[in-house]
A = this chain, B = another copy of it.
Amino acid sequence: MSEKPRVSLAVVKRLPKYYRYLGLIADKGIIRVSSQELSKITGLTASQIRQDLNHFGGFGQQGYGYNVEELKSEIEKIIGIDKSYKAIIVGMGNIGQAIYKYRGFNEASGFKIVGLFDKDKNTIGRTMSGIKVNDIKNINKFLQKEDVDIAVVAVPADSAQEVCDILVEGNVKGIWNFAPIDLKLPKDVVLENVHLDESLFTLTYYMNNLKDYPGTKN
């Protein structure tokens, strides 16, 4: 692994934003952009932007700014979306199905979904956009044959840890978890949670405590 400095979660969370805005700028045919211009678009300060990007090596040139395509492609590499990933979805309820159909999570975006799993007898065997839903009991065997990088966990909270233990055993390296539970995983398996309930409760909290609300910030 390379010798990059440790980067905080806040910086990591801003990278997709930079990537998104650079995509919009590139689509307009703009070739270079200054940190001041990026600041206007993103709402972040120019010095914040320069500082963030300096974590990964200085891309900009004093007085020239950033080459849009170059910076975009560098950020793509940093985020790791210049590669492709094999993924499975475990739990084909509403959330699992929505993620399966989500445009940001398909082969064109670098995520090849190679397996769908559920425990419901009525769902197992159904073909969804070309893939047959497999019995959740077969995950072990599936992972022995197929190298899976990412697993989406969209099962109920009470079975999510058990599912994850099987995924870890099967050498899955990243878990995108939608179950409302705090999973325990070994340090080398990356967990990213989407906790809808917590998000919704944050909304209601601030609606009821407007004075605490920090306002919309990018």
Q: Which residues of A contact B (CB under 8 A)?
A: 1, 4, 6-7, 9, 12-13, 15-17, 19-20, 42-43, 78-81, 83, 85, 94-95, 97-99, 101-102, 104-105, 111, 149-150, 173-176, 180, 182-185, 187-188, 190-216, 218
* Residues B95 and A201 in contact, CB atoms below 8 Å apart: no
Known contacts A4-B209, A210-B1; decide if A191 and B216 are in contact (CB<8 Å): yes
CA distance A77 to B80 in the complex (A): 42
Question: Can you tell how many copies of this chain the complex includes?
Answer: 2
Q: Establish whether residues A196 and B102, one from each chain, have CB atoms under 8 Å apart when the complex forms.
A: yes
The 4 A-B pairs with the shortest beta carbon distances in the complex, nearest first, are: A98-B98, A80-B208, A192-B203, A80-B204
Query: How far is it, in angstroms, between the C-alpha of A101 and the C-alpha of B183 when the chains are bound?
Result: 24
The answer to whether A202 touches B13, judged by C-beta atoms less than 8 angstroms apart, is yes
- In the bound assembly, the distance between CA atoms of A44 and B81 in angstroms comes to 33
The reply to whether A104 and B196 contact each other, CB–CB distance below 8 Å, is yes
